[in-house]
């Protein structure tokens, strides 16, 4: 089974990267760590959240009441413990809605999925992963946040080539990058854009199948409805076999967000379709050295990317209603 094709111009229209230099200190709920402060380009087209039907609204109210009546979290963690409070903070109403949406509003399945996610987050502790923990893998230049698209969604850029490094640490880098992307989302934004670039892909770049499955489970089960759109660029023919396996785990709504792109050029030159005529990949054809993709990039977190520090904010806004 294949995903729908889409034109190059649509890819570039969705994913125009930013070079944000203006400093703006936002009010923040929790200061977690230093991250580049990204802002969407103007005009900012805030995505709309579809209004719920009366049936689905009632299901959401029921799930909210179930959580608030302490019928789930105390069964997992001791009341008043740090683990309990982290679980309470996670179960915001938008979060519950995302879980329900991803599971086609099946209340029983949503309860089970939330339970599994709470246990996973407590065991894996994605919130505690630091830049230092994954710096060795990040230095390979394979995964990073590179600005925002025209709907204010952080763009996660994944390059499937170069040194693979430790597969397990690559998973932690991917999880860390998604957590950072969520913290960077402007108010009203809940999703991220993802670009998977397979240009110059080789078998040596391919992670073990169990790592791919693990990453797939994390995204589908523990980050429901976070993927706004995903572009797979210049996939090799062998990827078709992997896609045939992966696609069976994806629901139609998720598959409709995935597009395959074939480009004749190595560099994705955004040209007149971008806000500032910048190359969204910036360094796409550079296979020997690592350079900062754009000033509005998560690479400022790492020692090799600590350049032009005046362009980054020293704090991060974490929108509690979006987590």
- Spatial neighbors of 60 by CB under 8 A, at least 6 apart, are 52, 93, 96, 97, 100
CA distance 57 to 61: 6
* Cβ atoms 11, 268 nearer than 8 A: yes
CA distance 126 to 109: 23
Domain covering 8-42+128-322, topology: Phosphatidylinositol Transfer Protein Sec14p (3.40.525)
Per-residue pLDDT of the chain (323 residues; tens, 9 = 90+): 444 343 334 333 433 333 332 333 322 222 223 444 455 555 556 667 788 999 999 999 999 999 999 888 988 899 999 999 999 999 999 999 999 999 999 999 999 999 999 999 999 999 999 888 888 888 777 788 887 887 888 888 887 766 667 878 888 999 999 998 998 888 888 999 888 888 777 776 666 666 766 777 788 889 999 999 888 888 887 777 778 877 777 778 888 888 888 775 444 443 333 333 233 333 332 222 223 334 444 545 554 444 433 332 222 222 223 22
* Cβ atoms 35, 154 nearer than 8 A: no
- Residue among 191, 148, 132, 143 nearest 167 (CA): 143
What DSSP line would sit under 112-143, residue for residue? HHHHHHHHHHHHH-GGG--HHHHHHHHTTT-E
Where in the chain are the domains? 8-42+128-322
Cα 8 to chain centroid distance, Å, stands at 22
């Amino acid at each position: 089974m294949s995903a729908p094709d889409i034109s190059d111009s649509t890819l570039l229209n969705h994913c125009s990267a930013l070079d944000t230099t203006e400093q703006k200190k936002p009010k923040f709920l929790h200061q977690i760590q230093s991250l580049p402060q990204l802002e969407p380009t103007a005009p900012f087209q805030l995505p709309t959240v579809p209004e719920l039907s009366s049936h689905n609204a009632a299901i959401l109210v029921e799930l909210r009441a179930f959580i608030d009546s302490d019928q789930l979290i105390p069964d997992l963690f001791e009341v008043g413990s740090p683990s309990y409070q982290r679980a309470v903070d996670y179960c915001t109403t938008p979060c519950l809605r995302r879980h329900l949406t991803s599971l086609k509003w099946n209340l029983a399945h949503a309860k089970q999925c939330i339970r599994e996610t709470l246990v996973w987050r407590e065991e894996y502790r994605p919130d505690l992963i630091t830049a230092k923990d994954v710096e060795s893998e990040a230095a390979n230049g394979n995964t990073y946040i590179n600005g925002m698209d025209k709907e204010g969604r952080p763009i996660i850029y994944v390059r499937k080539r170069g040194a693979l490094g430790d597969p397990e640490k690559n998973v932690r880098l991917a999880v860390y990058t998604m957590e950072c992307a969520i913290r960077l989302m402007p108010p009203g934004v809940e999703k991220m854009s993802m670009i998977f670039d397979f240009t110059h892909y080789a078998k040596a770049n391919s992670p073990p199948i169990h790592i791919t499955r693990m990453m797939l489970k994390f995204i589908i089960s523990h980050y429901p409805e976070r993927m706004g759109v995903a572009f797979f660029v210049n996939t090799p023919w062998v990827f078709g076999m992997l896609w045939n396996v992966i696609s069976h785990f994806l629901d139609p709504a998720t598959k409709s967000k995935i597009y395959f792109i074939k480009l004749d050029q190595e560099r994705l030159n955004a040209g007149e379709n971008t806000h500032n005529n910048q190359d969204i990949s910036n360094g796409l054809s550079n296979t020997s050295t690592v350079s900062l993709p754009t000033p509005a990039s998560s690479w400022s977190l790492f020692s090799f990317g600590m350049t032009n520090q005046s362009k980054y904010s020293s704090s991060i806004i974490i929108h509690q209603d979006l987590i």
